[in-house]
Amino acid sequence: MKEKPWQLQLFAKSLKKKEKLRILNKNLNIPPSSLILDLGCAQGVLSYFLRQKGGTWISADQDFQNLQSSYLLLKNNLIQVEEGPLPFMDESFDRVVSLDYLEHLEKDDQCLEEIKRILKPGGQLVLATPRTGRFFFIHKLRSLLGMKLEYYGHKREGYRKKDLKTKVNRAGMSVNRCLTFSRTVTEFLELVLNFLYIRFSRLKTHPKLRDGHIRPSTGKEFSSEKKSFRIYSFIYPLIWLLSRVDKLLFWQRGYVLLIWAKK
């Protein structure tokens, strides 16, 4: 039997990505005639599942290496972009889906303005970013562990809900829905896994990728960590079970913001 693409193998053992996809599948309806920009596709795993919802998708990223990895899953409609003006005509997209991309940009306000420009009147933006605030102690723990923002490719720790809504509104779009996910236990487990990867990865010289290097970014890197992945796969049921404690923390808000906005 043919082995699954490495991105799907990683996804099957992910906590945050699976939760994110579950929320998007529940809340994102795509009419067949829609043209959607997937801005910041990384290695293409969420793009792979979202394309199955219908419509025509264009997947974009800054890193050519990410696009090469994405091609194994997506096969077509891939384009490399740079930070700054987007290479698309005004009012050309029905939706823009941008997941974990804005926090990687120096000029995040310009990106939001560009999204507004390329959206059709009444078009929708779906935006996911890390969330931060005064009492987000996992961020403080991350700093204490020496997990620098550059490991994640981030230009900032995240956004407060109020500040992000203000940015989106200032760019000319109105926020009509906002939710959070990835509560404390899930975020802590993800931090531990990221730390172990950075600390013990065989790949000591990493390329500077837009989305950092807290996980394998190519098939070759994944293959070099196969033994570690098998160990992780063995203990994953326990990790997943621990993450379910978040269900008991119903009063907490998550560490990831998910916003829907309309032009």
**Per-residue model confidence (pLDDT) at position 202:** 65
Q: How far apart are CA 18 and CA 110, in angstroms?
A: 30
Task: Provide the 8-state DSSP code for 131.
Answer: B
On whether the CB atoms of residues 114 and 92 are closer than 8 A, the answer is no
On whether the CB atoms of residues 58 and 65 are closer than 8 A, the answer is no
**Per-residue model confidence (pLDDT) at position 203:** 63
The CATH superfamily label for domain 6-262 reads Vaccinia Virus protein VP39 (3.40.50.150)
Nearest 10 degrees: CA dihedral of 250, 252, 254, 257?
100
Question: Is residue 120 classed as helix, strand or coil in its secondary structure?
Answer: strand
Q: What is the value of pTM for the model shown?
A: 0.93
Going from N- to C-terminal start, the domains of the chain cover 6-262
Task: Provide the 8-state DSSP code for 94.
Answer: E
Q: Is 53 left (phi over 0), alpha (psi -120 to 50) or beta?
A: alpha
Q: Is 256 left (phi over 0), alpha (psi -120 to 50) or beta?
A: beta
Taking CA 228 as the corner, what is the angle to CA 226 and CA 229, rounded to the nearest 5 degrees?
60
Please provide the DSSP assignment of 223-238 as one string: HHTHHHHHHHHHHHHH
On whether the CB atoms of residues 42 and 66 are closer than 8 A, the answer is yes
pLDDT tens across the length of the chain (263 residues):
678 999 999 999 999 999 999 999 999 989 999 999 999 999 999 999 999 999 999 999 999 999 999 999 999 999 999 999 999 999 999 999 999 999 999 999 999 999 999 999 999 999 999 999 888 999 999 999 999 998 999 999 999 999 999 999 999 999 999 999 999 999 999 999 999 998 887 665 555 778 888 888 888 889 999 999 999 999 999 999 999 999 988 888 899 999 999 99
**Per-residue model confidence (pLDDT) at position 133:** 87
Q: How far apart are CA 226 and CA 247, in angstroms?
A: 31
Q: How far apart are CA 93 and CA 40, in angstroms?
A: 15
On whether the CB atoms of residues 131 and 103 are closer than 8 A, the answer is no
Number of neighbouring beta carbons within 10 Å of residue 190:
20
The distance in angstroms from the start CA to the end CA of the chain is 47
